[in-house]
Amino acid sequence: VECGTAAMNYFSKLKRITSNVFPHLVPDWYRELLQVGRILGGFQVFKWNGFGHDPRVVGLGELVLFCPACPQKGVNLDLEIDKDIWKYSQTIIMDGNFKAKHMHEKKPDNQAFLMDGKDYMVGQEKYHDYLKSAKDNPKRSDCNNHRVVNQANAHRHKLEATGIGGCACAQHGCFILYSLVDFQKGERQVNMDYALSHALGHNMAVIQRVLTFYDINYQSMKNFRWELP
């Protein structure tokens, strides 16, 4: 990572150092090198966020930082607000990205999540349990031929995730911790509702007004109060 080279090139260098004459006789530990690299990266993230020998359990989204410029109680905001409440509104922008596709794993049981639910992405187990229990009623679009609404239930059987979506600070562009989800079909409302509900659960003390920006806000906010997880 520090030298900025590919893992295969680094491993080839190690083989040459081990046996410059017969590098092909060196045992192939390339997969183990990749695993160690992932674990090392995970250890560094834990260290940077103050988790080391402390037995304290890492909470949801505690391995990433919240937007430092947004209003936060006890950080850049007084503990009590008695006037000009409109100045301290939380602004959230929602959107999806269909370039971040993910294929089905050949051996899904071999996958190990090192930071499941500890950063920007939501926890996989709770998220999929929610999707199984949530009722997804395809809605007729009132928008003028909007692609996001019309393709919300488009299914691609070879993909585990057709994209990702989530919430970010509209003013400063920082992703909100524990509010990114993956799509199983298109940009369905059940996915974005889950992301927004968790985005509203972080640093909202003394915040009494929230503004949301979404390209299909008119369609998605009709029954949001009743569909909120």
Residues 147-206: pLDDT tens digits? 555 555 555 677 888 889 999 999 888 999 999 999 988 778 888 889 998 998 888 877
Asked if 196 and 97 count as a contact pair (C-beta separation under 8 A), the reply is no
Residue 144 structure tokens:
């003028």
Residue 24 structure tokens:
């092909």
**Pairing label, strands 210-214, 90-97:** parallel
- pLDDT, one tens digit per residue, over 61-108 is 889 988 888 888 778 877 676 677 777 788 899 998 888 888 877 777
Name the pTM for this structure: 0.77
Q: Please tell me the distance from the alpha carbon of residue 198 to that of residue 175, in angstroms, as a whole number.
A: 12
pLDDT band for position 207 (50/70/90)?
A: confident
